[in-house]
Structure 1
Amino acid sequence: MEEIIDEEIIKILQKNNLFSSLSNKQLNDLIPLIKVIDFDANKLIIYENDNPLDLYIIWKGEVEVLKKAKDGTELRISTLQSGEAIGEMGLIDNSPRSATIRTIAPTKLLVFSIADLKNLTKNTLFYNQLISKLSDVINELQFYINEQPTYLTLISNLAGTLSNRIRQTNQLTVDTLRSDLEHTKARIAMGKFMIDVLLVVVIYMYTFSVLAKLAHSHQSTSIVSIPLIIFFGIIVLFMMKNSSYPLQFYGLTLNNWRRALWEGIWLSIPLILLIVLIKWLVINLVPQFSHLTLINAVILTGNDMHPNHNLPSLIALVLAYLVFTPIQELIARGALQSSLQEFLIGPNRIWWAILMSNILFSVTHLHVSISLAIAVLIPGFFWGWLYYRHKTLIGVSISHLIVGGLAFFVFDIRSIFAF
C-alpha cells in the first residue's frame, strides 16, 4: 500500500516544474521528508506576512490565493490546483509570505520543510567536495567547481530579483483588481442612475406633450407648467443627492464660477449672431417668410399679433422660461452628460457623452415642434462643450438663458419654423 502511495506522490511531484527534472532516485529520496496534511474547504493554509517555513504541493483539491488591499479587503488573485506549488518563494528568500492561501474544496497537501530541502543542498556540496579530491582526470572539474561560486552568486541574486518582482507583481495585481472593482461598482451605480433619469425624461416628455395639446386648444397651462417644471427639478435633485456621487459631480458647484459666468456670456455672442444671420437669410431668401421682421413685431410695434397672447400670459411664459432653462440644464448636462462621461469608456467618451445627452436634450423639445427639436441641436453641442469646459452648470445655464431668451422672445426664431 505504501508503495502505491509513494508512486502517486512521485507522479504529483513530476507534474510540478520544481521537481519535474529530478530523477526517480532523487524523487524517492524526497519521500521521507514529506508530510501529508488534509484540509477541509474554506480553511486557511498560509497567512500573508507569515515567515516561510514549509513548501506545499497540492495533491488533491483546490486553493485560492488572496492578497490584502490597502483597505484590508482580501481579493482573489488566482487559484491553484493539483500538482501546483504553494510557498515556493520561501526556497529563494526568507521574506514574509506575500499572500494568504485558503482552500476552496477539501484539499490534501504534500508538505516539505524548507529547512530540510536546504539541507539537501548542503549534502550535495559536501559530495562535490569529496569528488574534487580525485585523480588528475578530475582537474578540469576542479576548475569548474572553483569558478562555480561566482555563477551561483549571480543565479542567487537573479532569483532574489525575480522573487521581489513577483511580489511586486502580486501587489500590482491586487491594486489593479481593486481599481477595476471600484470602477465596476461606480459604473453599475451610474447605470442605475441613468436609467432613473431617462425614466424621468420620458415622463417629462409625455407630461409636456399633454400640456402642449391643451395650449393648442386655447386653454391656459401656465399655472400648471411652472409647478411641474419645479417638480421634475426636485426629483432629479433628490436622485443626485441619493446617488454615490457628490453634487459637484453633477455640476452643482460654485468652483470657477466667475470664469464660467464670464465665458458663458461672451461665448454666447457668436451663437446669437448665427441665429440672427439664419433668420435674416430666411426672410430675404424664402418668399414664404418675407413678411416677417428680424426682431419680434410685438417688441417693435407694441401690438400683439397673436390674439391668444396677452401681457399676463407673456409674463407667465417668461417666468416659466427662467425656471425651465436651469432645470433643463440640470437634467441634460448635469444628470445625463455627467453620467455618460463617467459611464462610457474610450478616448472619445466625452464627445459621445455630449452627442448622446444633446440628442436627448433635443428630444425634450418635441412637445413644441419637430423643427425646434432639430434647431436646438447646434446650441446644444455648444452648451455640452461649455459644461465640460467649466464643470459647473452656472456658465451653461446663463448662456442658455441669454441665447434662448433672445432667440424666442426678441428674434422670434419660432416664426421661421415650417413644421
Structure 2
Amino acid sequence: MNGLKTASIFNSLDDQTFAELLSLAETKLFDQDELIIEKGKINDFFVILLEGRFDVTDQIGDQKYVVASLFEPGEFVGGQSLLGRPASMNVEARGQTNCLLFPLNQIRKYSDIYNLLVRNSAVDTARKLESTNQTLLLQLKKASNASSTILLCLSGFSIAMIFLSFMASINYPTDGLWSWLFILFVIPPPLIFVAATRQPLAAFGVTSEHFVKSLLDGVIGSISIVVLSFLAIYSFPNAFGISAVDVFEAMHLSRLQTYFYLLHCYLQEFFVRGSIQTSLEEVIQFQWRKPLAIVLASAIFSVLHYPLGFTPIVATFASGLLFGFVYSRTRNLIGVTLIHYVAGKIFFGLYNALS
C-alpha cells in the first residue's frame, strides 16, 4: 500500500493529505471479465490498481478491441469521472483484480485535493496518449509493410503462374531445373522489398532466436513423419502397390544434388511462412488471425503446385498447415525447413516410385 504514494495520480500530495485520501477509499475485488467502468456511463469514482490487470476495451460493430492493458500497481482508471464526463471506454478485470475505489462525491468536498487530482489525471492522460500514439504509429507501419510484402509476394506468385503455364504449354518436365526457376521468380520481390525498407530478416524467420526449440521441433516432426509414412507403406502394401524399399530408393539420398533441396526448402519457407504467413498475421486484426494466416498461406502456395496434379496440391496444402503451425511456435525457419525437406523427400520418393 505504501508504494501507491508514487502513483502518478497522487503526484505532489503530502503524506498527511495522501493518508486522508486513502481513508476515503474502499478495497474491492473484481472477478475475471467483470466490468469495472462502463463506456458511456458517468461514474462517481476512480480506481487504483493494487493487484491484477485492467483491460481498457472498445467495440466496433461486433468486434471488441483491447486498447490497453494495465498491470502495474498504482495505475488508475476513471479520469473522465474526475471531469464529470461519461467514460469513453470500458474497463474490465482480467483475472482476479484487487483495487481501491475512491468516491468522488466525498473528495470534491476538498477542493484543493480534487483540483490537484484533476491536474495529475490530465498529465497522466497526456502521457498515455503519447505512448498510445507511438504504439499505433508502429502498428500502422508494420501493417503497411506487411500489406506491401503480401502484394509483392502475390506479384511474384503471378509471374510464377505465367512461368508455370508456359512450361506446361511446351510439356517441360517438372524436374529440378523447373523448381529452381520457379524459386527464381517468387523469391526476389519480397526479398528486395525487405532490403529496401530495411526491415530485419529476423522478423521473417531468418534468425538464430529460438534456434534450439525450432531445431528440436524439426527433429521431432521429421522423425514422426518418417515413422508414420514408412509404417503406413509397410502396413498397407496392397493400397500403395510398392514397398518401403522402393520409396527409399526413389528418394535418391546417395546423390549430392539431393541435399541442395534443403536450401530449396529454406527459400520456399522464407516465401510462404516467413513472408506471407508473417505478413498476414500483421494485416488480419481479429482473434483467429494466426490460424487464418496459416490456412491462407498454405492455400496460396498449394495452388503453385498445380502442374504436378490435384493430389500434390492437396498434399501441399495439408502439409502446409503443419508447417505453418510449427513456424508459428518459434518464428524461426530452421525447424519447419527440416520438416519440409524430410516430408518432401518422402512424398517425391513415393511419387517417383509410383510413377
The CA RMSD over aligned residues, in Å, is: 3.5
Task: State the number of aligned residues.
Answer: 250
User: Counterpart of 2:243?
Assistant: 293
- Distance in 2 (alpha carbons) for counterparts of 1:337 and 1:188: 15
CA distance 1:266–1:222, shift in 2 (3 Å): closer
Per-residue deviation, 1:388:
1.4
User: Counterpart of 1:164?
Assistant: 120
Cα-to-partner distance string for 1:119-174 (whole Å, 9 max, x where unaligned): xxxxxxxxxxxxxxxxxxxxxxxxxxxxxxx9987122112212221232233223
8 Å Cα contact 1:354/1:384 also seen in 2: yes
TM-score normalised by structure 1 residue count? 0.52
The structure having more radius of gyration, on CA atoms, is 1
Per-residue deviation, 1:336:
0.6
8 Å Cα contact 1:230/1:323 also seen in 2: no
User: Counterpart of 1:199?
Assistant: 155
8 Å Cα contact 2:247/2:353 also seen in 1: no
- 2:352 is aligned with 1:402: no
8 Å Cα contact 2:302/2:317 also seen in 1: yes
User: Counterpart of 1:387?
Assistant: 327
Match of 2:134 among 160, 178, 185: 178
8 Å Cα contact 2:159/2:186 also seen in 1: no
Per-residue deviation, 1:361:
2.2
Q: Which amino acid is 1:327 matched to?
A: L
Identity %: 22
User: Counterpart of 2:226?
Assistant: 272
CA distance 1:171–1:270, shift in 2 (3 Å): same
- Distance in 1 (alpha carbons) for counterparts of 2:307 and 2:223: 28
Match of 2:192 among 238, 246, 254: 238
CA distance 1:271–1:363, shift in 2 (3 Å): same
* Unmatched 5+ stretches in structure 1: 1-149, 303-310
8 Å Cα contact 1:341/1:349 also seen in 2: yes
Match of 1:187 among 127, 138, 143: 143
The structure 1 segments of at least 4 consecutive aligned residues displaced by more than 4 Å after TM superposition are 150-153, 218-225, 277-283, 314-317, 413-417
Larger relative contact order, structure 1 or 2 (CA cutoff 8 Å, min sep 6): 2
Q: Which amino acid is 1:247 matched to?
A: L
CA distance 1:231–1:361, shift in 2 (3 Å): closer
- Distance in 1 (alpha carbons) for counterparts of 2:108 and 2:260: 84
8 Å Cα contact 2:219/2:339 also seen in 1: yes
- Counterparts of 1:20-419 in structure 2 under 5 Å? 154-214=110-170, 217=171, 222-223=176-177, 225-230=179-184, 232-279=186-233, 283-284=237-238, 286=239, 289=240, 291-296=241-246, 299=249, 318=258, 321-409=261-349, 412-413=350-351
TM-score normalised by structure 2 residue count? 0.60
User: Counterpart of 1:142?
Assistant: none
8 Å Cα contact 1:333/1:384 also seen in 2: yes
Per-residue deviation, 1:403:
1.8
- Distance in 1 (alpha carbons) for counterparts of 2:209 and 2:314: 32
